[in-house]
Amino acid sequence: MASLIQVGLSSVLKKKLESLFFVWAMARNSISVEVKRMFTTFLRRMIPFLNPYHVIEIHEHHSEHMMRNKLYSLANAYLSDVCAHEANKQQAEVRSLSGRPFLTIAEEEEVVDTFHGVKLWWLASSCKSKYSTQSSNGEERFYRLTFHKKYRKLVEQEYLTHIFHEGREIIARNRQRRLFTKIHSGGSGYSWTCVAFEHPATFDTLALDPATKRDVIEDLMSFREGKEYYKKIGKAWKRGYLLYGPPGTGKSTMIAAIANFLEYDVYDLELTTIKNNMELKKFFLETSSKSVIVVEDIDCSLNLTSKRVTKNKKDKDEAEATPAATEGYDNVNTVTLSGLLNSIDGLWSACEDEKIIIFTTNHVKKLDPALIRRGRMDMHIEMSYCTFEAFKVFARNYLGIKTHHLFSTIEKLLQEVNVSPADVAEALMSKSLRNADVEVCLAHLVEVLNSAKEDMNK
């Protein structure tokens, strides 16, 4: 209703002003320049005076740089939770299969909120975006908040803070973790897109030496609670992990377990699809806090494995043959080692902190020491071939047993052969899936291990 009054009032005002302008246009030819100027100034001053409303726009991105405006996300969460049910048109999304449908206000819809008895009108809208890679179709979404001028102080000092706190609580309450990946967003750019992150791996299901597991969990816990500590020592609140080991030893599974443990989002950064350092920086900047940024198989991602300056001609030729050149051939069209290092811990990397960065590799020795030095990749975790301790985790999870007479045979075989946890898991699963009994499952594993031993001896 109040909204209608506002619209009505504005249109009456508009008509009056139009007729004033009409009279003015008719008379302008017959009066002096000075009078014309005075009248124009008068009209300009009258317009805001006659309009009793004040407007605040909250855009999706900051006006001066490419980062997302947190207040927009908070307002979005607040309005979706508090006011979306009032809108005549809504947008419905399911953010996780286990979660309930989520309603947001559709574009060009207006809703009314009340704060301390004061009415405030919110309109969801969009305009052209300055940053083509950041929003699909070059569109920038924003909310327009309209209220009576006399409540300006209340809105600026209390209502916006109320939105901030409520929005944060709502986001925390409804938090569905997301897995982000980069997709082509039309035009020339790429942008992050996300799906619900529902990987079931946890530290309980991860087959890993118990001491290593304990170290990682303790490290993650101190990181999560370390906000004040990082501030005190003057370091950005982020931590790097390097996971290395042969294929199938659980590196990707460990990433999922870490994200689940911390309840963070995951950004899967495919370096080979990134054009240059500038774009890489943008993508890092667009990641939010409480997230795990993953670069899998860093040794294959780019030619980042060689030394920072490629010395001989052969190396140079190889570097130029790859889509992205190595360090030493830094140019605007490539992602280089220095670009990556700068993205990880350059000055601006402290924006939106509380981030974990994880690199995985099968060939740790190939990596440039600069990329994985401590302080950059703080913890180096070796994911090894299956040990007996790791096997016991599988036995508990897959078969529900803690001991068995075949355990000693398996322990001995695991000391003699190199099999990945993935192979052990597969051997146990192939039988246990078909409800074979424990004896059959373990006997099958013994068979697999024996044949691996024979292969090794050959």
Ligand X SMILES: Nc1ncnc2c1ncn2[C@@H]1O[C@H](COP(=O)(O)OP(=O)(O)OP(=O)(O)O)[C@@H](O)[C@H]1O
Instruction: Identify which of residues 396 and 404 has a Cβ nearer to ligand X in the complex.
Output: 396
Report the SS3 class of residue 48.
Answer: helix
Please identify, among the stretches 105-113, 226-234, 402-410, 419-427, the one whose residues bind ligand X according to the rule CB under 6 A.
419-427
Token code pair at residue 166: 């409520």
- Scanning residues 205 to 244, which ones bind ligand X (CB under 6 A)? 205-208
Question: What amino acid is encoded at 141 in this protein?
Answer: R
Contacted entry of Mg ion, ligand X, none for residue 189, CB cut-off 5 to 8 Å set by kind: none
Q: What angle in degrees, to the nearest 10, is found between the helix axes of 33-50 and 2-27?
A: 180
- Scanning residues 341 to 380, which ones bind ligand X (CB under 6 A)? 362
Contacted entry of Mg ion, ligand X, none for residue 146, CB cut-off 5 to 8 Å set by kind: none
Which of 212, 260, 221 minimizes the C-alpha distance to 239?
Answer: 221
Smallest gap, in angstroms, from Cβ of residue 231 to ligand X? 34
Smallest gap, in angstroms, from Cβ of residue 301 to ligand X? 13
Exposed e or buried b per residue across 229-249, where buried means at least 16 C-beta atoms within 10 angstroms of its C-beta: ebeeeeebbbbbbbbbbeebb
Token code pair at residue 42: 């008068």
Residues in the chain: 458
What is the distance of C-alpha 283 from the center of its chain?
Answer: 9
With beta carbons less than 8 A apart as the criterion, state whether 419 and 391 touch.
no
Smallest gap, in angstroms, from Cβ of residue 296 to Mg ion? 6
Q: Which residues are paired to 291 by β-bridges?
A: 265, 355
Instruction: Identify which of residues 189 and 250 has a Cβ nearer to ligand X in the complex.
Output: 250
Instruction: Identify which of residues 142 and 261 has a Cβ nearer to ligand X in the complex.
Output: 261
Per CB under 5 A, residues contacting Mg ion are 251-252
Q: Which residues are paired to 244 by β-bridges?
A: 361, 382
Using Cβ positions, the residue closest to Mg ion within the complex turns out to be 252
CA distance 248 to 242: 16
Q: Which residues are paired to 111 by β-bridges?
A: 122
Instruction: Identify which of residues 298 and 371 has a Cβ nearer to ligand X in the complex.
Output: 298
Binding mask 374-413 for ligand X (x = CB under 6 A): ---------x------x-----------------------
Smallest gap, in angstroms, from Cβ of residue 361 to Mg ion? 10
CA distance 387 to 418: 9
Choice from 251, 281, 282, 355 touching ligand X (CB under 6 A): 251
Q: For tokens 């799906």, name the residue.
A: 195
Please identify, among the stretches 48-56, 153-161, 246-254, 400-408, the one whose residues bind ligand X according to the rule CB under 6 A.
246-254
Radius of gyration of the chain (CA): 30
CA distance 407 to 391: 9
Choice from 6, 146, 191, 253 touching ligand X (CB under 6 A): 253
Contacted entry of Mg ion, ligand X, none for residue 340, CB cut-off 5 to 8 Å set by kind: none
Choice from 20, 103, 422, 443 touching ligand X (CB under 6 A): 422
Contacted entry of ligand X, Mg ion, none for residue 247, CB cut-off 5 to 8 Å set by kind: ligand X
Residues 31/36/38/39 CA torsion (nearest 10 deg): 100
Smallest gap, in angstroms, from Cβ of residue 199 to Mg ion? 12
With beta carbons less than 8 A apart as the criterion, state whether 104 and 95 touch.
no
Report the SS3 class of residue 328.
Answer: coil
Smallest gap, in angstroms, from Cβ of residue 81 to ligand X? 36
Instruction: Identify which of residues 254 and 340 has a Cβ nearer to Mg ion in the complex.
Output: 254
CA distance 218 to 241: 14
Q: Is 179 in the site for ligand X (CB under 6 A)?
A: no
Choice from 6, 252, 291, 326 touching ligand X (CB under 6 A): 252
Residue 394's φ and ψ, nearest 5 degrees, are: -60, -45
Contacted entry of ligand X, Mg ion, none for residue 207, CB cut-off 5 to 8 Å set by kind: ligand X
Report the SS3 class of residue 324.
Answer: coil
Q: Is 425 in the site for ligand X (CB under 6 A)?
A: yes
Token code pair at residue 66: 């490419």
Token code pair at residue 342: 């700068």
Instruction: Identify which of residues 179 and 383 has a Cβ nearer to ligand X in the complex.
Output: 383
Binding mask 316-345 for ligand X (x = CB under 6 A): ------------------------------
Binding mask 187-206 for ligand X (x = CB under 6 A): ------------------xx
What are the CA-CA distances from residue 451 to residues 431, 446, 448 (Å)?
A: 17, 9, 5
Instruction: Identify which of residues 352 and 423 has a Cβ nearer to ligand X in the complex.
Output: 423
Contacted entry of Mg ion, ligand X, none for residue 48, CB cut-off 5 to 8 Å set by kind: none
Smallest gap, in angstroms, from Cβ of residue 345 to ligand X? 25
Residue ranges binding ligand X (CB under 6 A): 205-208, 247-253, 362, 383, 390, 421-422, 425
